[in-house]
């Protein structure tokens, strides 16, 4: 494996330099994605005009496009990518499962069903969408645990339980959308996960959750490291295993739920990104979490740009791009770990 | 005063009674080995002592305080646990793993302290791993890997060390190396050692006391010469044996065959 070579051939200080380098590269990638997302689209805008539009002139035609459409959309995409990547990284540690991803194991569907229920049945309570999505995500996570628990947690059982829970919840979402098709705008976009027409209000929804969830995730990094040594060792080292697992699952559910309530069921970000990051910075969560967060921003902003320009003038939801890359990757992991 | 004591433990898995009203006490600074046939409950007893399983009834006391009344970290500063064949993430170095042993001494807002570095260096040198501290754990041999886990437990600076079959999967040289290491910690640092062992001769040679378990109960407990007898081996393990004494007065067991069952 790649990371084994990287780490076994280096001393500890060299490894520190390597990790820092990777994180810097991820940051550059995220910045690149950001700029790409601002410049490319139905209308190509030069970097100069963008800087002008952001800092001096909001009123001109270019200014309108940048300020009202591209900038908020790009920011929302970046935060969604960060939240889903962090949620995936946490879940993989907590569930001891390399295949854990909020989408695959049904946590996103839990958030989705709760969110859609509010949007469709109680539209006047729209401010409750994200909190309820969190409750839905957490409920789904606990259900998956209960279903998968049989004297311990096995990776494959979590996936199977997740598939079942996910199918069950998705049928609920579909039913609501069929019954109230007039009330759900852009339902299809929402089911596959898309950033189309996401703007400042959406940023306002996701930002507080990103900040709180991100800080809690980083504070939990050492717990996740200890948890990775196995339950018996973790307990021997004085970690409250049950509490830590529940708390970190809640953080992951919070991050995933806020992403879902903004873009819908965007899959595979939480699967691909943490794996990519792990391959390069290793399994120490103190580095893995920041690396995943930054790479998540890069992946979603770049993919969303691709989704806008690939079949221009038709725009496809970014979820399709993610699934196109993510599904084969999932199969690869499944074969490797089995 | 017993440093760790289990009182009237009862525990069942799926209707099967694994521990039956079991009581055992370990004095400070002793080496105690728990032996018994498969399914006698020895691993389960160790897990109950290390709170990795919860007994249905009964209490475990650490220095006369009910274990369930203490916080996890307080326990971990006194007691280190090494389960059977632990697994580490594939990219950890020896030092990374040993540093995790300091976790119970760290609070969530602060990182490593100078004291932590001192303890890690000490644990590495005690286990002869200083030179290897930057190696990746998964590339080491079985014996070296086991020493790393023991070093992690030592970095906890425990007063008591619980080990579940610490020599399984090791060749004879590495088995003895681990046993010698544990005896050394016990003598030089007064660390109490409680371990489950398969090898009766190792148990006899290296422990102060031996507890023989049979079907979830203590069949016998005492100094090795008192406990390791042909009678014990016949009734508990179902084997015939000749027992000699070595130069230290510890019994050496020669198994001569299976006990013939009547009828």
Tens digits of per-residue pLDDT, A6-45? 555 556 677 888 899 999 999 999 999 999 988 887 777 8
Tens digits of per-residue pLDDT, A242-273? 889 889 988 999 999 899 888 888 888 998 99
Q: How far is A201 from chain B (nearest CA, A)?
A: 34
Range A220-224 contact pairs with CB under 8 angstroms and sequence separation of 24 or more = A220/A90, A220/A244, A220/A247, A220/A248, A220/A251, A220/A285, A221/A285, A221/A286, A221/A288, A221/A289, A222/A285, A222/A286, A222/B103, A222/B106, A222/B108, A223/A247, A223/A248, A224/A90, A224/A93, A224/A94, A224/A248, A224/A285, A224/A289
Q: How far is A139 from chain B (nearest CA, A)?
A: 26
Distance CA A268, CA A289 (A): 17
> How far lies A37's CA from each of A195, A261, A268, A283, in Å?
12, 22, 20, 30
Distance CA A298, CA A269 (A): 11
Please state which of the ranges A192-206, A253-267, A284-298 shows the lowest mean pLDDT: A192-206
Whether residue A230 and residue B86 make contact (CB cut-off 8 A), yes or no, is yes
Tens digits of per-residue pLDDT, B67-82? 999 999 999 999 999 9
Q: Which of B91, B95, B103 sits opposite A226 (nearest CB)?
A: B103
Q: Which of B52, B87, B91 sits opposite A283 (nearest CB)?
A: B91
Residue A106 is predicted with a pLDDT of 86
Whether residue A282 and residue B88 make contact (CB cut-off 8 A), yes or no, is no
The mean pLDDT value for B252-261 works out to 86
Please state which of the ranges A93-102, A167-176, B197-206 shows the lowest mean pLDDT: A93-102
Q: Which chain B residues are closer than 8 Å to A232 by Cβ?
A: 47, 50, 52, 81, 83, 86
The answer to whether residue B196 scores a pLDDT higher than 80 is: yes
Residue B263: count of CB within 10 angstroms of its CB: 2
Main-chain dihedrals φ then ψ at residue B167, nearest 5 degrees: -110, 5
Whether residue A238 and residue B153 make contact (CB cut-off 8 A), yes or no, is no
Tens digits of per-residue pLDDT, B212-245? 999 999 999 999 999 999 999 999 999 999 999 9
Tens digits of per-residue pLDDT, B90-104? 888 999 999 999 999
Q: Which chain B residues are closer than 8 Å to A230 by Cβ?
A: 83, 86-87
Q: How far is B78 from chain A (nearest CA, A)?
A: 10
Distance CA A283, CA B82 (A): 22
Q: How far is B53 from chain A (nearest CA, A)?
A: 10
Closest CA to B166 of B197, B188, B189, B193: B197
Q: Does B15 touch chain A (CB under 8 A)?
A: no
Chain A residues bordering chain B (beta-carbon distance below 8 Å): 1, 3-4, 7-8, 11-12, 219, 222, 225-226, 228-233, 235-240, 282-284
The answer to whether residue B200 scores a pLDDT higher than 50 is: yes
Tens digits of per-residue pLDDT, A216-248? 999 999 999 999 998 899 999 999 988 898 899
Distance CA A133, CA A111 (A): 4
The mean pLDDT value for B133-161 works out to 92
The answer to whether residue A303 scores a pLDDT higher than 90 is: yes
Residue A185 is predicted with a pLDDT of 65
Whether residue A238 and residue B76 make contact (CB cut-off 8 A), yes or no, is yes
Residue A277 is predicted with a pLDDT of 92
Q: Which candidate in A227, A237, A241, A278 is best for mutational testing of the B interface (most B CBs within 10 A)? A: A237
Q: How far is A198 from chain B (nearest CA, A)?
A: 37
Q: Does B37 touch chain A (CB under 8 A)?
A: no
Q: Name beta bridge partners: B163.
A: B82, B195
Strand order, beta sheet including B57-62: B16-27, B2-13, B57-62, B65-66
Q: Which of A225, A231, A236 sits opposite B76 (nearest CB)?
A: A236
Main-chain dihedrals φ then ψ at residue A313, nearest 5 degrees: -80, -5
Please state which of the ranges A69-73, A109-113, A330-334, B97-101 shows the lowest mean pLDDT: A330-334
Q: Cα A12 vs. chain centroid, distance in angstroms?
A: 31
Whether residue B50 and residue A228 make contact (CB cut-off 8 A), yes or no, is no
Q: Which of A4, A11, A235 sits opposite B90 (nearest CB)?
A: A4
Residue A1 is predicted with a pLDDT of 43
Instruction: Say what the ipTM of the complex is.
Output: 0.90
Q: How far is B106 from chain A (nearest CA, A)?
A: 10
The answer to whether residue A330 scores a pLDDT higher than 50 is: yes
The winner for highest mean pLDDT among A75-89, A269-283, A297-311, B82-96 is A75-89
The mean pLDDT value for A320-331 works out to 87
Q: How far is A170 from chain B (nearest CA, A)?
A: 35
CA dihedral A227, A228, A231, A234 (to 10 degrees): -50
The mean pLDDT value for B42-69 works out to 92
The answer to whether residue B262 scores a pLDDT higher than 60 is: no
Q: Does B96 touch chain A (CB under 8 A)?
A: yes
Percent of the residues in chain A that have a pLDDT greater than 90, as a whole number: 35
Whether residue B103 and residue A236 make contact (CB cut-off 8 A), yes or no, is no
């Amino acid at each position: 494996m790649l990371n084994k070579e990287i780490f076994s051939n280096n001393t500890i200080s060299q490894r520190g330099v390597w990790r820092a380098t990777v994180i810097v590269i991820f940051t550059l990638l995220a910045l690149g994605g950001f700029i790409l997302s601002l410049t490319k689209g139905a209308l190509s805008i030069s970097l100069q005009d963008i800087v002008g539009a952001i800092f001096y002139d909001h009123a001109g035609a270019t200014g309108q496009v940048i300020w009202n459409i591209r900038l908020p959309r790009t920011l929302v995409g970046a935060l969604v990518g960060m939240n889903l990547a962090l949620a995936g990284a946490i879940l993989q540690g907590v569930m001891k499962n390399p295949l854990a991803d909020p989408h695959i194991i049904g946590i996103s569907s839990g958030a989705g069903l709760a969110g859609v229920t509010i949007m469709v049945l109680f539209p006047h309570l729209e401010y409750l969408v994200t909190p309820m999505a969190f409750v839905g995500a957490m409920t789904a996570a606990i259900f998956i645990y209960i279903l998968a628990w049989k004297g311990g947690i096995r990776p494959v059982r979590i996936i199977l339980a997740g598939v079942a829970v996910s199918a069950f919840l998705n049928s609920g979402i579909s039913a609501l959308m069929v019954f109230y098709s007039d009330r759900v705008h852009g339902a299809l976009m929402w089911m596959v996960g898309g950033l189309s027409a996401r703007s400042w209000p959406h940023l306002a929804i996701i930002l507080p959750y990103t900040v709180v969830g991100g800080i809690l995730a980083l504070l939990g990094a050492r717990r996740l490291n200890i948890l990775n040594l196995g339950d018996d060792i973790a307990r021997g080292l004085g970690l409250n295993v049950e509490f830590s697992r529940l708390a970190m699952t809640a953080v992951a559910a919070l991050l995933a739920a806020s992403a879902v309530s903004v873009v819908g069921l965007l899959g595979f970000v939480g699967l691909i990104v943490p794996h990519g990051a792990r391959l390069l910075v290793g399994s120490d969560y103190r580095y893995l979490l920041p690396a995943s967060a930054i790479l998540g921003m890069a992946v979603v902003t770049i993919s969303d740009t691709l989704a806008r320009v690939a079949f221009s003038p038709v725009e496809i939801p970014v979820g399709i791009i993610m699934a196109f890359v993510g599904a084969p990757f999932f199969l690869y992991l499944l074969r490797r770990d089995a | 005063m017993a440093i760790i004591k289990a009182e009237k433990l009862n525990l069942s898995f799926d209707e099967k009674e694994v521990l039956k009203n079991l009581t055992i006490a370990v004095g400070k600074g002793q080496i105690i080995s728990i032996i018994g046939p498969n399914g006698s409950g020895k691993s389960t007893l160790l897990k109950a002592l290390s709170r990795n399983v919860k007994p249905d009834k009964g209490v475990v006391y650490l220095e006369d305080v009910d274990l369930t009344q203490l916080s996890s970290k307080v326990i971990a500063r006194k007691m280190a646990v090494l389960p059977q064949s632990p697994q580490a993430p594939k990219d950890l170095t020896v030092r990374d793993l040993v540093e995790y042993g300091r976790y119970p001494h760290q609070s969530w807002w602060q990182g490593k302290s100078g004291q932590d570095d001192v303890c890690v260096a000490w644990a590495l040198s005690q286990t002869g791993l200083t030179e290897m501290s930057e190696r990746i754990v998964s590339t080491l041999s079985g014996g070296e890997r086991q020493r790393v886990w023991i070093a992690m437990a030592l970095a906890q600076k425990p007063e008591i060390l619980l080990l579940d079959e610490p020599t399984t999967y090791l060749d004879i040289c590495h088995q003895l190396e681990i046993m010698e290491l544990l005896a050394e910690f016990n003598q030089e640092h007064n660390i109490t050692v409680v371990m489950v062992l398969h090898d009766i001769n190792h148990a006899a040679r290296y422990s102060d006391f031996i507890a023989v378990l049979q079907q979830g109960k203590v069949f016998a407990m005492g100094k090795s010469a008192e406990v390791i007898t042909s009678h014990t081996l016949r009734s508990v393990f179902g084997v015939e044996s000749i027992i000699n004494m070595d130069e230290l007065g510890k019994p050496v067991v020669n198994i001569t065959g299976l006990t013939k069952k009547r009828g």
